[in-house]
Structure formats: C-alpha cells, structure tokens
C-alpha cells in the first residue's frame, strides 16, 4: 500500500517538484494539495484553498509553503491527528513553539534543510569545531537565488547552531560587520549571505587559523535533493509516536 501525501504549498516550485517525483514512485501517492494560489495547471490531484476544506483521506502532510501558512497547517495536522513534515524556512520562534507544542500530540518532522549531504556536513562541522576551536576562527557563507526572502538561510543558522552546541562558552552570531565596527572576537561566528541568479543553495564553513584555512562546503545542484529528502522524511515519520523528529533521527536509523 502506498503512502498517501497531502502537499501543503503544492503550487509552488518545491510542491511541483515533489508532485513530479511522486509520479515515478509506486510507494508514494500524492492524493491532494493545499495552496492559496489558483495556478493548478499540470497538477493531477485535487487542490484546496484551505486545509480545513480537505475531504480526501491521507497519511502524512508535507509542508513546503510560506512561513505565514504554518499556524493553520499545524492546527489542521493536530485536528486530524496526522504527522507533518515541515520543510518551510524563515520560521519565527512563535512558529517553532507551535511545532513543538504540536509534537506532544502528533509526530512532527522539522528540518531547515532536507538534504542528506547537508546533514553529513553538519556532523563533520561538529567534529572539526571540537578539534580546532578556539584556535581557529569560524565563518559561514551561504548563497541562494535572488527570490529567497529570508537571510541568513535556515540552513546557515542550523549549521551555526550545531557548531555553537559544541562550544562551552557563549558565542555571538555576527551578520553585518559594517554595523559592528570592532575587531573580530574569538567568540564570533560570522554568517554572510549572497543572493543572485538561480543558485539552488550553497553553504561553506571556514575554519581560519594563523597558518592554514580548512573549508567544508555543500552545493545543491537541483532542488530534487530537497524533494527526495522530504519524501524520505514522510516515510520515516509515518507510524511514529508523537514527538519532534529531524534528519539526525532519520540518518541514525
């Protein structure tokens, strides 16, 4: 029996990418979608303007929408007692609290980046931080297409948070050195953003010493990598007990 997906944000680029991928996967069936857009051309499943209007049975919600849509889709997931895979970026602390509260009632899978490679990169950054900090300064550079709204990217912050977890003392994220106007402190982690063209997603972490520089980088070639990861997360979270899950849980399994 195939896994039945409700795609929130189905008319967007990632929604359509996932829809195309589901067509070639006999184990997954995209049964319906939700989107405020009425541009449903090419979509061969029912699309609802609001989640509350969905009258199709499904197993898991995959969310690739806008952060403003998070409250309604989370409320809907809880009301239907269905797992949700949240791939939307730019979430506020309020949104994250909503997801955390929901995880007490349903399985919630949340990751700022659904790529397996990025999550392997984060694991390597944890090891390198333990080996090199504080003798090496740490800087993060991320680049995305010119249509991306949030900066820095959720993935850059996810990398920075993982590095921060490995450091005993307080660290400061520095986004704009022009406004800071001071010498770099050992406790700084610089995060720089580039926006241009059609860059899918690039992240580089630099460990800068007095005599050498070590770099770890990841470049997504197509958005298929995020769609594939989202569908893998949907398969992983289906049938799980209520709780908060992420890519680390899936990779370890």
| pLDDT values of the chain reduced to their tens digit, one per residue, 253 residues | 899 999 999 999 999 999 999 998 999 999 999 999 999 999 999 999 999 999 999 999 999 999 999 999 999 999 999 999 999 988 899 999 999 999 999 999 998 789 989 988 999 999 999 999 999 999 999 999 999 988 999 899 999 999 999 998 889 999 988 888 899 999 999 999 999 999 999 999 999 999 999 999 999 999 899 999 999 999 999 999 999 999 889 877 6
Domain boundaries, the chain: 3-114+223-252, 116-219
At residue 219, φ and ψ (nearest 5 deg) are -130, 120
Of 32, 42, 33, 108, nearest to 75 (Cα)?
Answer: 108
The residues assigned a catalytic role are 144, 148
The 10 Å Cβ neighbour count of residue 151 is 15
| pLDDT of the residue at 253 | 61
pLDDT number for residue 178: 87
- What's domain 3-114+223-252's superfamily in CATH? NAD(P)-binding Rossmann-like Domain (3.40.50.720)
CA 253, CA 235: separation in Å to the nearest integer?
Answer: 12
- Tokens for 118? 């990025």
Q: How far apart are CA 174 and CA 193, in angstroms?
A: 11
The Cα-based distances of 61 to 34, 154, 222, 223, 230 in angstroms read 10, 21, 23, 19, 10
The residues, ordered by sequence, that sit 6+ positions from 92 with a Cβ below 8 Å of its Cβ are: 67
Q: What is residue 177's predicted lDDT score, i.e. its pLDDT?
A: 86
CATH superfamily of 116-219: Dihydrodipicolinate Reductase; domain 2 (3.30.360.10)
Task: Please report the DSSP string for 101-159 in residue order.
Answer: HHTTTSEEEE-S---HHHHHHHHHHHHHHHHHTTTSEEEEEEEE-TT---SS-HHHHHH
């Amino acid at each position: 029996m195939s896994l039945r997906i409700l795609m929130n944000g189905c008319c967007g680029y990632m929604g359509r990418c996932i829809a195309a991928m589901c067509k070639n996967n006999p184990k997954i069936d995209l049964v319906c979608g939700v989107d405020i857009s009425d541009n449903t051309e090419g979509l061969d499943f029912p699309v609802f303007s609001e989640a509350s209007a969905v009258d199709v049975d499904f197993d898991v919600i995959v969310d690739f929408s806008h952060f403003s849509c998070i409250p309604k889709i989370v409320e809907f997931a809880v009301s239907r007692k269905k797992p949700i895979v949240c791939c939307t970026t730019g979430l506020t602390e309020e949104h994250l609290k909503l997801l955390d509260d929901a995880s007490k009632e349903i399985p919630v899978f949340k990751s700022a980046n659904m790529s397996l490679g990025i999550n392997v990169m984060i694991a390597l950054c944890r090891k390198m931080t333990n080996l090199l900090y504080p003798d090496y300064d740490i800087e993060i550079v991320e680049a995305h297409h010119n249509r991306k709204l949030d900066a820095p990217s959720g993935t850059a912050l996810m990398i920075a948070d993982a590095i921060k977890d490995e450091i005993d003392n307080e660290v400061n994220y520095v986004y704009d050195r022009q406004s800071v106007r001071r010498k770099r402190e050992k406790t700084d982690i610089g995060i720089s953003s580039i926006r241009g063209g059609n860059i899918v997603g690039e992240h580089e972490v630099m460990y800068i010493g007095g005599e050498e520089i070590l770099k770890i980088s990841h470049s997504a070639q197509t958005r298929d990598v995020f769609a594939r990861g989202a569908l893998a997360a949907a398969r992983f979270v289906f049938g799980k007990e209520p709780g908060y899950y992420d890519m680390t849980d899936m990779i370890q399994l």
